Amino acid sequence: MAFMADFSAKGDTMADIMTAETASCCVMGRKQLMEYPWITAPDFDASGTDESPTDWRPGVRVAVVRTSALPWGAMTVLVAVLLLGLIACGGALGAINDAAMTGLKVSVVVAGLLAGCYAALVLACHLLLADGETVIDWNEGTILHRRNRSQNTYPLDQLTEIRIAPQPDPNPEIAEVQLVVGGPLVPLLTTYRCDSTEQACRSVAVAARHLATTLNVPLVAPPNIPLDDVTKDDRAWSDEYVDTGNWTLMSMRAAERNGDSDAAARHRREAIDYFDIANRIDPSNPAPLLELGKLSDDGDANKQAVEMALAAAPDSPEALIELAKIQDRDGEFELAQQSYDRAVSIDRCVDTLQARALFFQFNERFHEAVNDFDDAMERAGDDDERAHLLGLRSDCYRDWFESSGNQRYLKRAIDDARENVALDPEQSNSLANLLIDAEEYTEAIAILDDWIMNEGEDTYVFGLLGRAFLQQGIDMDSAIFHLTRAIEIEEAAPPISDPGWQDIQRRSLSHLYSLRSEAHQKNKDSEASRRDIETSRKLDPR
């Protein structure tokens, strides 16, 4: 069932509904266009074209840039240095022959002629190797084409067809995708030289066909080029758009961590568009529906997206896992376990076993959780996957220790953490944290000191060091120093726009102030202890 169908009566898709929560990013100026990073366009192989995509969301916004490959800035500096050297040499040779001014004048004239030739070369190359960009913007209803300093904008509704046009002899192995806007032809994509005219046309045929379908205009190609059989597996094609959307989500989360709410909103909007396109390409693919559901702040909309994904693919383990998470959130624990069990029975793999293990762990069914982690570990495909699972199982053992007080589980957590560090040394902080729990302070402090020496200052590491010294009970000055440094780094960090991360940051700071209050108290500084505990309570009244 198509994702669009359930909302057709309202005139909205889920993507349209979610759009209202985010700001539009339809700025057409050159500066704004060039801010977009080059991306992967699922419709064509950008390595085979002269242009690189900076945005590729057919139906929303498509943008490609073409830049000159020659480093004119560096070349100009080099030429200037050589010409100055020529002038200096001319003056020096003239001085040797008692004709300094004559030598200097001759060298200046020669340098001027050479500079003129270089300027002519730069101008010729600038015209022949033009940089530019072409942007189709559905929101603005425009097609923008810029070549060097010349820029034209055409109404989108004047687009009459899209052409795939081989270049004339002697370059028929190069093809161009052109937008026919009334009379003018606007170039969009140009292939590198291929083995044949047919190969050149086929390399951009999927992109041209997708744009023609989205724009509802004819696709025109040479009659001797059979493009009717040019197809692309819908599921693989849809998955490529999902992957591009997930990369965009990574940019969104990075922007959120840096406190750039505008960029985060823009990337969120872009991700929604990619997932919506993926769904349009293959309505039976549950992946884009699930991603759209995750991006919704509305629990009901999220549940609706999961139900639609299951309607499209009833045996999708990914959809069943998302349904189980919703059921668990709503307190329907038996139904959640049934959904997890069904996902595992359909595909007993690392992902499904890990998901069910985490469900068992969060519900303090640690024995069942460890069994699933063990099973998943046997199916790990490489060291990275095994290291990840070791970290999760170590966390599970630690929770089991905190729930039961049984030191045996803490030891198993430490054993898993040591094995994890052997595979991934960057996980040494987790090992140090467990060693502090086990009162192995000397080893924990050594690990954390080594981290700071090699990796640099980090809030979490300084906080662990402060806790280690505090619990060791020997050197309160060191505890206060490291906790203070952790607080300083955390307070100097850029503000975070995401409410969830803001809450985590506040609680983290509150915990650090609480630990430092305790250290001040043990150091006989009651006033400093009182100030810190008040600050801690203000940050986290709970």
> Picking from 8-17, 379-388, 420-429, 477-486, which range would have the lowest pLDDT averaged per residue?
8-17
What are the domain boundaries of the chain?
1-21+236-296, 29-66+130-232, 72-128, 448-542
Q: Between residues 431 and 90, which one has the greater pLDDT?
A: 431
CA distance 199 to 304: 44
Mean pLDDT in the chain?
84
- CATH class in words for 29-66+130-232: mainly beta
CA distance 220 to 212: 9
pLDDT digits (tens, 9 = 90+) for 10-68: 334 444 333 333 333 333 333 333 344 567 889 988 888 888 898 999 999 999 998 65
> Which backbone phi and psi does 256 adopt, to 5 degrees?
-65, -45
Answer whether residue 124 shows pLDDT above 70: no
CA distance 278 to 240: 8
Answer whether residue 391 shows pLDDT above 80: yes
pLDDT digits (tens, 9 = 90+) for 248-266: 999 998 888 777 888 889 9
pLDDT digits (tens, 9 = 90+) for 96-122: 655 556 655 666 666 667 666 656 665
β strands within 98-250, DSSP E: 132-137, 142-147, 150-155, 159-166, 175-181, 185-190, 219-220
pLDDT of residue 173: 85
* Percent of the chain residues topping a pLDDT of 70: 80
Answer whether residue 246 shows pLDDT above 80: yes
* Predicted TM-score of the model (pTM): 0.72
Inter-residue contact 232 to 256 (CB < 8 Å): no
CA distance 463 to 467: 6
Highest mean pLDDT: which of 167-171, 328-332, 352-356?
352-356
| CATH 1.10.287 correct for 448-542 | no
- H, E, C per residue of 513-539: HHHHHHHHHHCCCHHHHHHHHHHHHHH
Confidence tier at 479 by pLDDT (50, 70, 90): very high
* DSSP state, residue 45: -
Average pLDDT value for residue range 202-226? 88
